[in-house]
Chain A
Amino acid sequence: MPQSDVLLSATGISKHFGGLAALSEVSIAIRRGEIFGLIGPNGAGKTTLFNVLTGIYAADAGELTFDGKRIDGYKPHRVAQHGIARTFQNIRLFTSMTALENVMVGRHVRTRTGVLGAVLRTRGAIAEELAIVRRAYELLDYCGLTARANDLARDLPYGDQRRLEIARALATEPKLLALDEPAAGMNATETEALKALLERIRSDGVTLLLIEHDMKLVMGLSHSVTVLDYGEKIAEGEPAEVQRNAKVIEAYLGGGLA
């Protein structure tokens, strides 16, 4: 199968909430294997775009193509099946479950034991359960959370919770990992560790979409950056050129200078 260079393309995405245009005709194209940064001031529509891409909102207009298939109108679980995993801006872990169990839930979409298999403990079900546990431990280790495996998610320190969300998302075997402000609330050391983790994930073949306010992090990591403001795309390109873009500077520093 010939693989296009573009993994995800969104064309002319619009989303309105009542009279508010949260997104108007936004188009992005994420290439395979890159880290794609999405930035913009608060309320620019970044998270809305995320929610459209992951099926949580249905777009009012526009097309979404992922890995050669149209995915617009898909429910979130089908989007996940097709290979987009995400984390949330305001961490959404399964708080009453352990770190290990959280990651095990991420394996749900790639496993198949049903009620009968679970109740009868069939050989296949037992083998699959073991494989789930093994993979979950590997991913905890990958994200540096092995020591926390049996702690409840709600008891983890903030930075660990953010990394656990990443481990859980990776468990779904995504082609695209979408991260909504993964460094929010992290201190400098934690951010540094996160940066190393994200680079490692990318080098292991997962494409990354990154919303981030930490400019140093996003500019340091991303291969291309798109800037949203008031629901419109105002700039895109390599980090260095975006940083020089007059519109971007205006959006971040306020219109008073213009």
Chain B
Amino acid sequence: MNADLSFNALPAFVRRATWIVIALLLIAAPFLIESTLGRSWVRITDVALLFIMLALGLNIVVGFAGLLDLGYIAFFAVGAYCYALLASPQLGVHWPFLLVLPLSAAVAGLFGILLGAPTLRLRGDYLAIVTLGFGEIIRVFLNNLNRPVNITNGPQGITLIDPLQIGGFSLAHTHELAGLTIAPVHSYYFVFLACAVLSIIISLRLENSRIGRAWMAIRDDELAASAMGINTRNVKLLAFAMGATFGGLAGGLFASFQGFVSPESFHLIDSIMVLCMVVLGGMGNVAGVVLGAVLLTALPEALRYIGPLQQSWFGEILVEPSDARMLLFGLALVLMMLLRPSGIWTSRRRRNAMPAATGESRAPV
């Protein structure tokens, strides 16, 4: 049975208590992490939350609607640059984030439709190639839109982007609150957490809705879906737009968090990473995708410790840490896919799609 179902089978007060404990843990998390692992890990946690949003957005396109998108990071880039341009000295515009952030998400959504419209007839490999090209086009544009009119500042990127500011509370400054030191990484954590939780709720609600079912119907059999009265064109465009909106929101947050954006942050490898999070986590399953995003953000960072580790074990560094790190990361990906080919946390549907993977057989009686 599904983990979710068995959780719902618990008495109401147990469920409520569980949620409260989870909420408290999430609130305490940045401080716990800082005191055990150091501040750099709080920053990594922030990034993980951004990747949760990205992975959930891509999950709508790839997991729900079954449209393979290899250029997804482009929407992250569009959101980031949209925020950067409207809240930095680059154009001399400093709009408030409450306006710029939704705008970044909306502009990215528009780009989602822009990508979706010409690719409606494509599926699978062909769609993957076109989206891959789209991702690169966006990056090349950002790299070159500094001449003749300087819009994006080319490869140098845009600096001095305004941090988030809520009322008079700037997230870029360190605050003291009830004896706690709240550094920017902590403040951003809470904003990102709120956005990530919102993304999770939206994803779950969409999944179990008329629209979510239409996406999955198209994923399973597009012709049958259209014969059932589903306007496949609109529903696919909607998937692209929704996915891109999540990406744009994450991008806007990223720009304000970093204070700096450049085309360097939006390479093909970043699209692939987000796709890995979706696939490894468990395509189509929201919980799995969240887990995938957290694991794949943390793992490369954790592997940075192999340098010091070698030092303490062998007294010298045998393998160049930067080489070994990506090597081990790749190995980890391969192992995960071998051990759990349909994802770490699979939805019921996918698990049954591969009975051999779990040893579970559901032969019709």
Contacts and interface: CB of A to CB of B under 8 A. Distances in A.
Interface string B316-339: 000000000000000000000000
A88 B224 contact: yes
Interface stretch (A31-39, A61-69, A111-119): A111-119
A152 B352 contact: yes
B228 A75 contact: no
B347 to A, nearest CB: 9
Contact of A156 (B209, B232, B364): B364
A155 B214 contact: no
B230 A108 contact: yes
B241 to A, nearest CB: 9
B5 to A, nearest CB: 11
B210 A94 contact: no
Of A77, A80, A109, A154, most B-chain CB atoms within 10 Å? A77
B228 A172 contact: yes
Interface stretch (A99-107, A197-205, A250-258): A99-107
B353 interface: yes
Contacts of A157: 364-365
Of B206, B217, B232, most A-chain CB atoms within 10 Å? B217
Contacts of A237: none
A168 interface: yes
A70 B226 CA distance: 19
Of A92, A111, A113, most B-chain CB atoms within 10 Å? A92
A206 interface: no
Nearest to B284: A96
Nearest to B216: A97
A93 interface: yes
Contacts of A101: 213, 216
A226 interface: no
Interface string B350-365: 1011000000001011
B339 to A, nearest CB: 22
Given A113-B210, A118-B206, A105 B352 contact: no
Contacts of B220: 93-97
Contacts of B231: 75, 77
Interface in B204-259: 205-206, 209-214, 216-217, 219-221, 223-232, 238, 242
A138 B226 CA distance: 23
A76 interface: yes
A101 B352 CA distance: 16
Contacts of B230: 77, 105, 108-109
Contacts of B211: 113-115, 118
Nearest to A156: B364
A80 B227 contact: yes
Of B201, B228, B242, most A-chain CB atoms within 10 Å? B228
Interface in A128-164: 128-129, 132, 152, 154-157
A155 B364 contact: yes
Given A96-B349, A114-B211, A129-B210, A121 B205 contact: yes
Contacts of A132: 210
A207 interface: no
A86 interface: yes
A108 B229 contact: yes
Contacts of B353: 96, 154
A171 B213 CA distance: 14
Given A80-B227, A94-B217, 19 more contacts: A54-B227, A75-B231, A76-B227, A80-B226, A80-B228, A92-B224, A94-B221, A94-B224, A94-B225, A95-B220, A96-B219, A105-B213, A105-B228, A106-B228, A108-B213, A108-B214, A113-B211, A119-B202, A172-B229
26 contacts: A56-B223, A77-B227, A77-B230, A77-B232, A80-B226, A80-B227, A81-B229, A88-B227, A92-B223, A93-B220, A93-B224, A94-B216, A94-B224, A96-B216, A101-B213, A108-B214, A108-B230, A112-B210, A117-B209, A118-B205, A118-B210, A119-B206, A129-B209, A152-B362, A154-B353, A156-B364
Top 6 A-B pairs, shortest CB-CB distance: A109-B229, A80-B229, A118-B209, A94-B220, A92-B224, A96-B349
Interface of A: 54, 56, 75-77, 80-81, 85-86, 88, 92-97, 101, 104-115, 117-119, 121, 125, 128-129, 132, 152, 154-157, 168-169, 171-172
